[in-house]
Structures are given as structure tokens and as C-alpha cells.
Amino acid sequence: MQSSHFSPRLLSRFVACTIALATISACSDTKQDATTENSAPAASYSKQTLSTQGKDELSLSASEQLKPYLERDITDEIFYFVMPDRFHNGKAENDMGDPNNAISYGGLDKTSKWAFHGGDMVGLEAKLDYLQNLGITSIWMTPILRNKAIQKDGFGHHGYWVVDFTEIDPHFGSNDELKSLIDAAHARNIKVFFDIITNHTADVIKFKECHNEDGKFKEDGQKGCEFISKADMAAGKTYTPFVPEKEQGVKVPEWLNDPKYYNNQGDSTWQGESVITGDFAGLDDINTSLPEVQTKMIEIFENLISEFKPDGFRIDTVKHVDIEFWQAFGPAITEHAKSIGIPNFHIFGEVYDGNPAGLSKYTTAGKLPSVLDFGFFFNVKDSILEGKDIGRIGALFDNDDYYRDEDSGPELLLNFLGNHDAGRVGHFLQKSFTQADDATLLRRSELAHALMYFSRGVPVVYYGDEQGFTGDGGDVDARENMDPSLVDVYNDNILIGTSKTTADDNFDTDHPLYQSLAELAQIRVANRVLRSGIHQMHMANDDTGILAFSRIDPSTREEYLVMFNLSETPRNVKMSVDSSAFSTVYRLGNVNEPKVAQGVLSAAMPRLSALVLKASEQVPTSNIAQVTIGDIYTDNERAFIPVEVATKTPHANTLLNVTYYGVDPDGSERMIASDNTSPYRAVVMPEVLSSIATIRVEVSNYDDELVSETMTLN
């Protein structure tokens, strides 16, 4: 622990926690190095301890129970995704931006859902108590670098129209105020993540064939510039780029002002080559295929890390950038962060694709550590928030094999239920369950969040969801104010779990969703296996609405069983288990204690309920009888290498790890994939196999057995 990163208050709490280990189960994480958790009771949590009034020294927040922020892994985090402009206005003086810099000045209109509303870094820092008590351990902000405040299609309140990569946008504050926020968060053991853009800059470059000298379109009603393909460019059809006089030299660093570093092919049509080289809604598309651009962009973000010391990046519009750029960017950025003392700097990309084949392309071939799991978002939205079949959730987790290669895996994915583009949990619920009462909508939101907190991956809460915000759809319709709002189309929304509207102050720590998420955070943090254990599916039954899976620590063999009844009908659930008894860690709904007899667990699950249990006994060892490598096949632009493992004695949980090595003709080998859940298979990019002569498979039972088999490739 580096004491310089902790406030005296936080240090005193850690000391108090150490002294009181015998009386507070939530301190379990602080003593892991000294003892094992094999015989420790499951840490449970009661909503009664969540009151923010009169909080005593032993009532630790989630961030205070974890390792120091520089030391801990991404799987320990609970994210809060916040749009600073819409969160809290801590300094009214900066509401209009910088009057001395015209491109970043103006745009304030608190009555318009499109405009700036005044939120800033000072406001975020002022609400750190609110976030810490919610159980947040990492804050991810929408982009905060200096923007072009006003463009033809709106206002840069969201931060995605960057003109200066070296300073914060004056609407949000100063560089020093950003540093103050980061220092204050770090003092609470909370990480801070930046949202960054490498695909484009603000719309400054124009084309003589499409625009007048003042930058306006030549034709009345014109919305964009036709995309010109590379083939058409080679045949002589090109645009002549220029920058209107009033916006010349506005970008920082200086090299970004030169049109030669941009693709200049017109607006994307969202298909074909335009996905990579077209302007994203008119924004100036950087030519990320140029080695010089790759070097310069890496330098920009290395400098940001050196100056501000954030804990990671979320990267915007990843699939609109050449994959070769990511192959250089990801390793370079994480290595730079490590070199200046940030060993666990984490990067995750935004790839707007629900198909794991599309998402995993960027964590495998693209060398990014992680992505936002849009597959989780779409499948949970469809099943829990819209009432469709739940089999899709089982299929989602079965496809986790797409992410398992030598340096990434599904446990690193960031799970979310809504965001600033797609819309909110509350909106999906109200749109789908038009006849449901508020209690039912509230329960469904709690269930979706519980699944996000207890399944594999890292949970991300979208700001305002903890206050039951609903919105009217995606984009600006899902960007309400936490401060009292003056936007009519926000204030007429019916919120979930409260009689308030967005016209009220919505930092309500007594809101039932705030309380529920705080409880989920305590459960997740106090029970380590729910953060990092292997996710093994047991059931996703469309007919009954029962979803069940285990989280298992392969080193200690601890098991947590997680069960949901996602139907509107009470269900009696029976399933095979390995342990003779379980203790209850968490329950949602009036669920009685389950019973275990002759290897079968029986549980009466009320409608829309959840249960998390800890097994009293270790998961038994699976002794290996035979290993067989199946025929390689291709699907979804991937090569699949299936492996069948027969065990000597069947168990409810089969705890095995299958590691795949590619052996080159010279005999050297490298790991290409691994899988610890049945059915076992490697899912790799076809080019991975192009230079491999032999596949060697190594199967471990996490005990004393290790069986190896090989397959020669033609």
C-alpha cells in the first residue's frame, strides 16, 4: 500500500478494518494474502447498513475494501459512466466555456436537451461521497478534452468533437481542476478513466467541391458530402480539402491542422470501406493507416497519461479505425503507463456490435485488452428488460470462447445495461411493459443489475439509472440532468421507484435503486469469487424463465451458485449440485432457504426473484479419463478446434482447463487459446493457424493431473 495515495480518513478505516476482522465479514478482501477463504463464511449484506447518516468507521464503502487502486485488477471494478455536463454544476463561471477562444465558447442553454447544461469537474468532485456510497470504484467520463463547442448539427456537450488534445474543455473546467478530481478520487481509492477518440477530430476540414469558402454547403438542404471510394480516387475523382479562414490552426497538436493526415473521402455510408475512411457524421476522419499518424496519436495519449495519471481509457468508434492502428496503439499505451508507475492501466474499446465474432476481433487480432460487451447489453435488454426468451443469455455466455486468447478473456469485458447512445434501462422497461406497475419495473431493473454484478465481466452503471431515470430513447433523450432540470421533455418523464421528476435534485441516496445497487456492490466486493471466479452456466430455460450459473475459484475451489427466476410465475427449481449445503449471500424477493438432499438442490423461487448461495464444500476434482481433439471447422470468420474431455466421475461442476498451443515447424510453440468451460473449444482467427504445423492441447484438472494430446495440421 502506498500511503501517499490515501487520505487519513481512508487509512484509519483500513486500520479499523484490520483490528475488527473478527466482527466484519466485509473486510475479507484486506486479509486475503494472510489467509485463504476456503473456510470463511460467505459475506452477506443488509440494506439496513446503507444509510449515509451516522456512518461509523467500520461501515466501509466498496472502494475502501479493495486493494489500493494502483495494485488492483480490472475485474475488481464497479464503473459509473457519467456525462459531466449533465451531472453536477460546481462552478457556474465556466458554463459558457472560454470567451477568449471562440471555437470553444458558447452553447449554454439549460432548457435545450442538445446544449450545454453546466456540469463540470468541480461538480463531479463535490459528489464523490455520493458515488463512493453507491459502491463505485471507477469513474468513466465522456470525453473532456477541448471541443468545437458548436457545429452544424448541435453542441459539443458530449465531448466527442475534439480540437485540442492537450487541455480540458473550458466548459468542464481547467487542467488543474481535472487533476484535483483525479487526486480526490484516488484518495478514496477510486479510479478515473478517460473517454478518448482516435478516429476523428471536430468538423473543420471542408471540400471545395462540396462547400463554399465560408464552410457552408453549396446546396440548400444539403446534409453531407458524397463518399468517394479509393477506386474512384485512383481514377481521378477526389475532393480538394481546405479549412475556412476563421478555423485555420485551431487544432492542437499543430500537425492535426494539415489535411494530408486525413482521409478526405466524404461522409461515411456506414458500409464497405467508408466504415474506416469516411467522415463519421461529417467529423474529420484521421487517416490512421499512416505509420506517422499512428506514432503521433500514440504520443498524444502517452502525454495525457503522463500529465493527468488516469487509470485507463475507453476508446470511441473502434471499428471505424484501421485494425493495424490498434495493434500498435494498445500495447504501446499500456507499456507507457506501466513505465510511469501505472501497472494496471486498462483499455476498453467501443465496438457497436452485438456479435461476439465482431467484438472479439479487436481483443484478439486488434490487441486491445477489452471492449464494452454490446452482446451482454443486447441480450439482457431483450430478455429481462423487454420480456423475450432467456435462452439468449445462455448463448451469450456460451460464446465467451471467442474472447479467450493468450492475453484477453471474457472476464475483462465491461457489461452495461444502457448508455448515452442506446438509451436507458427505464426506457426499455416502460416501452415493453406498458401495463406493469412501478414495483414490477423496479424489480426488473434490480434483476438486470444483479445479473450484471454477479456474472462474468465488469459492471458499468450509467449515471441516473440508480435514480430510476427513464428518458425517451437514445442519444440526447437519455442524457438527463442529475441537478434540477429545465428541459421540458425530460421533466415530463415518469421515473421508476420515486415520485420525483428530473425537475428535482436527483442525488437521492434513499432511492430504492441507489440502495439496491449499493447492496450489490457490497456483495460483489465482499465475496471475491463473484468478481473473478470462472462463470459456468447451468440453466437458461425459456419455458420456466430460470437462469442459473456458478462462479468458481479454481485455486480454492469455492463455489457461488447464482439463480434467477425471470418469469412472472413462481417456480420450484431442482438442480444437481456438488455441495451438501449452501448459505445465502443475497436474495431479491421473498425466497425461502433452499434445501439439498442426495445431490439435488430444491428452491422455491417467487416471480422475478434472485438468489446467490455459497457452497459449504469445495468443488470436487474431475479426474481425466480421455482427451480427444476433434476436426477443425470454420464459422463466423473463425477457426474452431473442439476438444472432448471424458472424466471418470460425473459432477455438477466439471472444473477443467484446456490450453491450446500452436507448434511451429521449428518446434517452437505459443499459446493461442484456452477454455475452462464446457463445451471445450479454441476459437481463433484463421490466420493464427497459417504458420502452425501442430496443435498441442494440454488439459488440467487444477489439481495433480495434466494430460496432453497433439494434432498435426495438413
Give the residue from 250, 249, 332 showing the smallest Cα distance to 291: 332
Closest CA to 85 of 158, 146, 151: 158
Phi/psi of residue 315, nearest 5 degrees: -110, 125
Distance CA 52, CA 616 (A): 33
- 266 close to 227: Cβ distance less than 8 angstroms: yes
Q: Which of 29, 95, 125, 350 does the annotation list as catalytic?
A: 350
Crossing angle between the packed helical segments 291-308 and 175-187, to the nearest 10 degrees: 60
Cβ-defined contacts of 258-262 (< 8 Å, 24+): 259/205, 261/286, 261/287, 261/290, 261/292, 261/293, 261/296, 262/205, 262/286, 262/287
Helix (H, G, I), strand (E, B) or coil at 699: strand
Q: Max Cα separation, the chain?
A: 82
Name the grid cell of 504. Answer: 428535482
The answer to whether 142 and 82 are in contact (CB under 8 A) is yes
SS3 114: coil
Euclidean distance between CA atoms 552 and 572, whole angstroms: 24
Q: Is there a catalytic annotation at residue 705?
A: no
Read off φ and ψ for residue 427, nearest 5 degrees.
Answer: -65, -45
Burial class of residue 346 (count of CB atoms within 10 Å of its CB; 0-12, 13-18, 19+)? buried
Q: Among positive and negative, which fits the CA dihedral 374, 377, 383, 386?
A: negative
Closest C-alpha among 191, 86, 81, 54 to residue 484: 86
Q: 300-334 burial, b if ≥16 CB within 10 A, otherwise e?
A: bbbebbeebbbbbbbbbbbbbbbbebbbbbbbbbb
Tell me if 133 sits within 8 A of 125, measured CB to CB: no
Kind and range of the H or E run holding 12: helix 8-19
Which candidate in 77, 267, 316, 472 is catalytic?
Answer: 316
State how far the Cα of 288 lies from the Cα of 575, in Å rounded to an integer.
52
| Bond from prior residue into 679 cis (ω within 30 degrees of 0) | yes
Amino acid at position 419, single letter? N
Q: Which of 171, 109, 115, 182 is nearest to 144 (CA)?
A: 171
- Integer Cα distance of 370 and 346 in angstroms: 8
Closest CA relative to residue 349, chosen from 330, 376, 335, 324: 330
The whole-angstrom separation of Cα 615 and Cα 630 is 34
* Residue 316 annotated as catalytic: yes
C-alpha cell at 456: 462474468
**Are the CB atoms for 672 and 524 separated by under 8 Å?**
no
Taking Cα atoms as reference points, which of 4, 30, 6 lies closest to residue 17?
Answer: 30
Closest CA to 451 of 612, 314, 330, 337: 612
Cell 493495424: give the residue: 324
Measured in whole angstroms, the distance separating CA 594 from the mean position of its chain's CA atoms is 33
CA 528 to chain centre: 19
Given a contact cutoff of 8 angstroms between Cβ atoms, the answer to whether 277 and 285 are in contact is yes
Cβ–Cβ under 8 Å, residues 483 and 440: no
Q: Give the C-alpha separation, 424 to 468, whole Å.
A: 9
Is 106 within 8 Å of 96 (Cβ atoms)? yes
Do residues 608 and 429 touch, judged by C-beta distance below 8 A? Answer: no
Looking at the annotation, which residues are catalytic?
316, 350
